[in-house]
Chain A
Amino acid sequence: MVHVSATPVLALRGVSKRFGAVQALTDVELEVHAGEVVALVGDNGAGKSTLVKTIAGVHPIDEGVIEWDGKTVQINKPHDAQNLGIATVYQDLALCDNIDVVGNLYLGREVKKRGVLDEVEMERRSLELLQTLSIRIPSVRIPIASLSGGQRQTVAIARSMLGEPKLVILDEPTAALGVEQTAQVLDLVERLRERGHAVLLISHNMADVKAVADKVAVLRLGRNNGVFEVKTTSQEEIISAITGATDNAVTRRAARGNGEVQK
């Protein structure tokens, strides 16, 4: 286990968010430490995306406190979050298919020399970055369109690392990936942890959560429904926290299948 600091990088205290008549989040608590992967799970509509967006500055919170390194901060715009050192990789990646890997990594923050793009410097730094993250892609000068889904995901994550963020939020990073590609992305998540980044991982996939997360925070109907240590918690406990009951479709299936699903 990598060293985990005492003060959480990010802490939410009693955060609430309301959209018109809908109470999306109620008194949510969440802590993420450096060198720790926290999985955020919950059913559809549980408030995962809303919570992520409040941290990323897309939706400012209505009530509660956001603490960054122990200090209370205001996050009202995406820019605020970026300045603090929060990088978010959304599900749809936001890469340009026609531009090469270097161009995508530096899109919107190109390195310039006397007003002209410094391609050499950008390529050198890109190779360096990909190497430290042990990311393998055929060439940094081929368009994103030529890469596989997993390679694209790793490029998108690498891109978020350029600003040396303290906290990386990954929204369903393995949702559309095959087995091999999922493994690549999970490897990368582990490498982020090793490098001391705090990682908040949103996932539907219990296998992924069990594989890389240290803690699981469960949201249910916009409220906390428990934070579990992954090592000491069974998959069923997490699922019952997600669904809010011990008797549900998943456990019934498990019972019918002679408990084969159980670990």
Chain B
Amino acid sequence: MSIDKTSVSPEDEHIVENPEAAAGADVAVDPRLLVRERGFAGYFDEFKRKMRAGDLGSIPVVIGLIVICVIFQSLNSAFLSAENLNNIAVAMVATGMMSVGIIFVLLLGEIDLSVGSVSGVAGAIMAVLSVTHGVNEWLAVLIALAGGAAIGAMHGFFFARIGAPAFAVTLAGLLFWLGFMLQILGENGTINIDGDGVVGKLTTYYFSDVAAAYGLAIAAVALFFVTSFLDSRRREAAGIPARPLVDIVVRTVVLAVIAFAAAIMFNQYKGLPLALLLFVVVLVVSDFVLRRTGYGRKIFALGGSVEASRRAGINVTAVRISVFAIAGFFAAVGGLFWASKIAAANQSAGAGDLLMNVIAAAVIGGTSLFGGRGRTWNALLGVMVITSIQYGLALEGIATPVVYMVTGGVLLATVVIDSITRKTQKTAGRA
């Protein structure tokens, strides 16, 4: 990025206006240091500074979710019922899983348009192998997932090794794999799967024991608190800025309220859905990989500057291919959840608005389309928004055309908010 002389950051203006600070390089404490005060005052200051700088994070989408809930609840009191929320939680997993994969690709600053078709292929492979050819269902699932990863790796190869634009390669993939799926489904076009099988259970199994949902909530809260606390202790021991205990407690309490509210809600209906548990596990693991491992750091680096990554010794080609393989893998996972939801592999799988919803969920959740910024938790928030809109409008008996228009409007609003905040960040020197 270029250094725009006209948009001087506040810090720089400070230097110009304060020649003493500029000259006095030996001053012990630099006035420009963002020293964070301890306690709530410091926390509030930090928050205000972020708001002013346009660093909104997940706040717009959380507000959006609350607005959606208020609107639909006032239209129909069944919206916030345990049954409806449960259905939303299960229905969103297929799109959400695929969205996790697309976030990996978006972090590189690339796009994968083929995930919809690849999800259809995975469902078809699984159904054809297990139902038509009688292959063990677990094996069929593994083959379908490996197939998805292989297809993704192939797209990645054409992009990273041959140098074709990812947009074009995956657009070709979108068409090719759609045809491939129709081909292997054969003339019938629909293969029903066993509702009590591995795939069938994915979206129909609930942990009916109330202990499951509460146990998960307790485990999540405890894990969060212990890891935050230990991290903070280590930082203090190393003499570097650490998160104050009050801060950790507040965060833990917020998480606990959300987790237990969800647990109570699930237990009022059928219990904790298996699909949601798997989704949460995927989110935790993928977030850990992205933010805590060398591999994740490489992905962010590539999203920031390819040249810098190359000079830092990162194998650019290998990382790119692997990221597309991950997108293909999660597309396949999503495809299996989709097949489970409709209890069949059919010709319409992976078609329609699925691809758009997957990308929209990632973007609505807060992932940047320009690479280098985002978290896999964005997939959860984004997909909650999209699925809530779908279910809320369905409760009202409003037809698909309106659903499309509303979802499109929400996506546009998100991108607009993103662009405006980006501008604010630029003028505040934080782009």
Contacts and interface: CB of A to CB of B under 8 A. Distances in A.
Given A98-B372, A136-B30, A145 B231 contact: no
B326 to A, nearest CB: 18
Interface string B301-313: 1011101110111
Contacts of B431: 145
**Which of B239, B309, B312, B314 has the most chain A CB atoms closer than 10 A to its own CB?**
B312
A172 B1 CA distance: 18
Nearest to B310: A94
B109 to A, nearest CB: 10
B140 to A, nearest CB: 32
B251 interface: no
B301 A138 contact: no
Nearest to A179: B22
Interface string A113-150: 00111011101100100000010101101111110110
**Which of B12, B240, B372 has the most chain A CB atoms closer than 10 A to its own CB?**
B240
A164 interface: no
Given A96-B300, A107-B309, A110-B297, A138 B240 contact: no
Given A94-B308, A120-B238, A139-B33, A108 B313 contact: yes
A95 B310 CA distance: 11
B1 A97 contact: yes
A71 interface: no
Nearest to B368: A98
B373 interface: yes
A229 interface: no
B34 A96 contact: no
Given A116-B293, A117-B297, A97 B240 contact: no
Contact of B430 (A99, A124, A136, A145): A145
B226 to A, nearest CB: 16
Interface string A74-103: 000000000000000010111111110001
A141 B300 CA distance: 15
A180 interface: yes
A123 B243 CA distance: 14
A176 B3 contact: yes
Nearest to B1: A97
Given A116-B292, A117-B293, A187 B308 contact: no
Contacts of A195: none
Contacts, number: 108
Chain B interface residue bracket vs A: 35 or more
Contacts of A94: 305, 307-308, 311-312
A117 B430 contact: no
Given A96-B300, A98-B300, A124 B429 contact: no
B25 interface: yes
A112 interface: yes
A114 to B, nearest CB: 11
A117 B431 CA distance: 25
B1 A99 contact: no
Contacts of A184: 25
Given A108-B314, A138-B32, A148-B12, A96 B292 contact: no
Nearest to B429: A146
A174 to B, nearest CB: 13
Contact of A96 (B9, B235, B309, B430): B309
Contact of B234 (A92, A120, A138): A120
Interface string A17-28: 000000000000
Contact of B231 (A97, A110, A120, A141): A120
B211 interface: no
Interface string A172-192: 000010001000100100000
A124 B301 CA distance: 21
B25 A103 contact: no
Interface string A227-258: 00000000000000000000000000000000
A99 B231 CA distance: 20
Nearest to A184: B25
Interface in B1-29: 1, 3, 9, 11-12, 15-16, 22, 25
Contact of A121 (B238, B309, B314): B238
Contacts of A145: 1, 430-431
A117 B305 contact: no
B397 interface: no
Given A95-B304, A139-B33, A142-B430, 5 more contacts: A96-B305, A136-B30, A145-B431, A180-B15, A180-B16
Interface of A: 90, 92-99, 103, 107-110, 112, 115-117, 119-121, 123-124, 127, 134, 136, 138-139, 141-146, 148-149, 176, 180, 184, 187
18 contacts: A93-B308, A99-B300, A99-B304, A99-B372, A108-B309, A108-B311, A109-B312, A109-B313, A110-B294, A110-B297, A116-B293, A120-B231, A121-B238, A134-B25, A136-B30, A138-B32, A142-B34, A145-B1
